[in-house]
Amino acid sequence: MSIPAFDPRTPVIPLRGEIDEAVARVLDSGAFVLGPEVAAFEAAFAEQLGAKHVVSVANGTEAITIALRAIGVGPGDEVIVPSFTFFASAEAIPPTGATPVFCDVDPGTRCVTAETVRAAMTPRTKAVVVVHLFGNVAPVAEIEALGVPVVEDTAQATGALGVRADGSVASAGTLGKAGTFSFYPSKNLGGFGDGGAITTDDDAVAEQARLLRLHGSRAKDTYLEVGYNSRLDGIQAAILGVLLPHLPAWVEHRRAAVDRYRASALAEVVGLPVDGPGTSPAWNLMVVTHPEADRLAAGLQERGIEARAYYREPIHLQPAMKPWPTTVDLPGTTHLAAQHLALPLSAAITDAQVDEVAAAVAELA
């Protein structure tokens, strides 16, 4: 492809020397699982986010499961989650023993709202998994005002900013009871493999998350709960530590690219994403809508431009979710699932590439 959908390789090329040194440091130390590199990355990530605690884990999916358990979710509970998102957001709920309950999203922001969450609430609702989809930021404070704790799925929104209940601006992932992150290579802060993290300002939640990530133990001979083998590797932590200082610049590059898309002819032919009120999104994906999205994608493909849909079949319609049928209408989900299309976006995309994509879409639409 002359213009790939995403490009995680180019931004890290100038950092290769630092990365090689970091990997060598871990190899020399022999601390391959958890250890000092992991502790150092957790501290640096917490400082950048403004979080009291960062608990690293093996991946973003287990981050959600462990975070839910750490705030007290268990058998008999219900957890509300959007259907228009990656499967892992809902997949992480059944391992806690709780039931996933699907809610709708706003067609403009593509995120849940207080209204869509309220429509799915029951007396058994124990928590809400709020997904900051595509790098946009959902209204966490409004949702928490409904009286249920929020776990933020921030996998696609590392580096975004939202608004707390007191009106202050804070990092996505620090707005609710707990936040979860993925360091999969395609994410805004992507490592060279799997990795994840949980953020919280609650000491008890952090302590429980650390317990659960290590087989439910604090010492190797005493197991207090059935937990998980969910630990971040030292090599991944060392690499992430090299990349972390560059995250703000990479996020600003993504924002500038989305602004350039918006200022182009795209606005006349496709539906553009709408920022969450008072937020600064970190745009992991540039997702537009069009009644013939698949035709557009095919036309772009012929021109060497990679564009794709991500969630044509929303989660509530997936075979694995048949045991938990939806209880509310999901018109926003249905609309977005049928019409969304992700255009190229990365921390390395050039103005010329954005202009080429926008012109091609405008011509094809």
Q: What pLDDT, in 10s, does the model give residues 199-243?
A: 999 999 999 999 999 999 987 789 999 999 999 999 999 999 999
| Percent of the chain residues past pLDDT 70, beyond the cut | 100
Q: Can you tell me the mean pLDDT for 277-282?
A: 95
| 3-class DSSP assignment, residue 301 | helix
Burial label for 246, CB within 10 Å (0-12, 13-18, 19+), is: middle
Amino acid code (one letter) for 106: D
Q: Can you tell me the mean pLDDT for 266-289?
A: 96
Spell out the residues 6+ positions from residue 38 whose beta carbon is closer than 8 angstroms to its own: 56, 231, 232, 233, 234, 237
Tokens representing 16?
């290769």
CB 334 within 8 Å of CB 317: no
Tokens representing 178?
């707990």
Which pTM was predicted? 0.96
Amino acid code (one letter) for 176: G
| Percent of the chain residues past pLDDT 90, beyond the cut | 95
H helix intervals, 98-202: 114-120, 140-144
Quick check: 99 pLDDT over 80?
yes
Q: Can you tell me the mean pLDDT for 352-357?
A: 96
| 3-class DSSP assignment, residue 113 | coil
Q: Can you tell me the mean pLDDT for 256-261?
A: 98
The half-sphere exposure of 321 on its side-chain side, counting CA atoms within 13 A, is: 23
Tokens representing 216?
């439910």
Over the stretch 303-342, which tens digit does the pLDDT of each residue have? 999 999 999 999 999 999 999 999 899 999 999 999 999 9
Over the stretch 104-150, which tens digit does the pLDDT of each residue have? 999 999 999 999 999 999 999 999 999 999 999 999 999 999 999 99
Kindly list the distances between the CA atom of residue 53 and the CA atoms of 46, 49, 61, 66, 202, in Å, as whole numbers in the listed order: 6, 10, 19, 14, 8
The predicted structure's pLDDT at residue 228 = 95
The predicted structure's pLDDT at residue 322 = 96
Quick check: 350 pLDDT over 80?
yes
The predicted structure's pLDDT at residue 31 = 85
99 DSSP 8-state letter: E
| 3-class DSSP assignment, residue 73 | coil
Of 105, 144, 148, 114, nearest in space to 326 by CA:
105
How far apart CA 32 and CA 21 sit, in angstroms, is 15
Q: Can you tell me the mean pLDDT for 16-25?
A: 96
Domains of the chain as residue ranges with CATH:
10-245 (3.40.640.10), 247-364 (3.90.1150.10)
- How large is the angle between the packed helices 351-364 and 293-302, nearest 10 degrees? 120
Kindly list the distances between the CA atom of residue 239 and the CA atoms of 182, 233, 245, in Å, as whole numbers in the listed order: 14, 10, 11
Tokens representing 36?
């000092």
The predicted structure's pLDDT at residue 218 = 87
Kindly list the distances between the CA atom of residue 361 and the CA atoms of 255, 256, 260, 314, in Å, as whole numbers in the listed order: 20, 19, 14, 25
How far apart CA 354 and CA 87 sit, in angstroms, is 29
Spell out the residues 6+ positions from residue 175 whose beta carbon is closer than 8 angstroms to its own: 137, 140, 141, 150, 152, 162, 163, 164
Q: Can you tell me the mean pLDDT for 29-57?
A: 95
- Residues in the chain, total: 365
The predicted structure's pLDDT at residue 327 = 87
H helix intervals, 149-233: 203-213
The predicted structure's pLDDT at residue 1 = 58
Q: CA 41 from chain center: how many Å?
A: 19
